Amino acid sequence: MVIYLDVLVFINIFVTYFLLLSSGFLLHRKAKKWRTACGAIFGGLSALVIFLPPMPGVFLLLEKLLISVVLVLIVFGFENWKWFLKQTASFYLVSFVYAGAMSALWFFITPAGMSYRNGVAYFNISAAILVISTVVVYLVLCLAEHFLHRTPKEGQMLFVRLDYGGREAMVRAFVDTGNQLQDIMSGLPVVVCELKALKGCLPDEVYFALQQHKVEEIQGEQWKAKVRVLPMNAVTGTGTLVGLKPDHIWIEQEHASKEVQAIVGFTDQPLSDGDFSMLVGTSLLENT
């Protein structure tokens, strides 16, 4: 059977794109579109292994695992080992399900114009069908994004991007209705963040002053003006939380980046076992 290189790569770009979307959906993670596109292109090029001699099952599994690792790094990056392993396992799982479905299709039906080798499926379809498929899939994605978009709810995860003096940090946040903190002076909602999550975003002297609970040692009028002392109630009693007003703060969602107004309160205690580093109240999300 003749295999056309352009058709092979194009089809597998489509396949990889939807596998990446499925993998992110399983863990409620949404990558940047340009990163997903780069990953899909890499996945399409990796389909060239179909031209190699048939590989034994063990080597095929190792090959798929290596491709999964590279794709996860391209699309989702590396936050920590826990999330990296979770995302790799998620993508490997959806890839394994897809490979199993293609194997079953080949074994039981063997459609005309289909070839399946080394875990790669090839369908001999015309250029017109490729163009029509592209348009249809794009329209379906646009409609799905329009109808499925909702404001994040309690228990969901999202990313928050912060800017302090031109330095930015992206923090994974948990939507928590229990966080009703507000800055008394400005009335702005307060998000609670692990201090270490913003180490690269703050000047060293500011970071260490916050770490040592010596905010009076923060120098510079610009930084002093950002400091907030926030009263709070906890199970153990009342207390205070030291916060800094960021220059900018954005809620990152798949469809857009929405700038909001909030104070960031810092804690030395871990908020989770590595799943997230910030607590965001629903009041901050009402207008996103």
Q: Which residues are catalytic?
A: 176
Q: 91: exposed, middle or buried (C-beta count within 10 Å: 0-12, 13-18, 19+)?
A: buried
At residue 220, φ and ψ (nearest 5 deg) are 90, 130
* Residue 187, Ramachandran bin (φ over 0: left; ψ between -120 and 50: alpha; else beta): left
Pairing state between β 257-260 and 120-123? unpaired
Torsion (CA) 166, 286, 21, 65 in degrees, nearest 10: 60
By the 10 Å C-beta count (0-12 exposed, 13-18 middle, 19+ buried), 227 is classed as: middle
**Cα 251 from Cα 123, distance rounded (Å):** 41
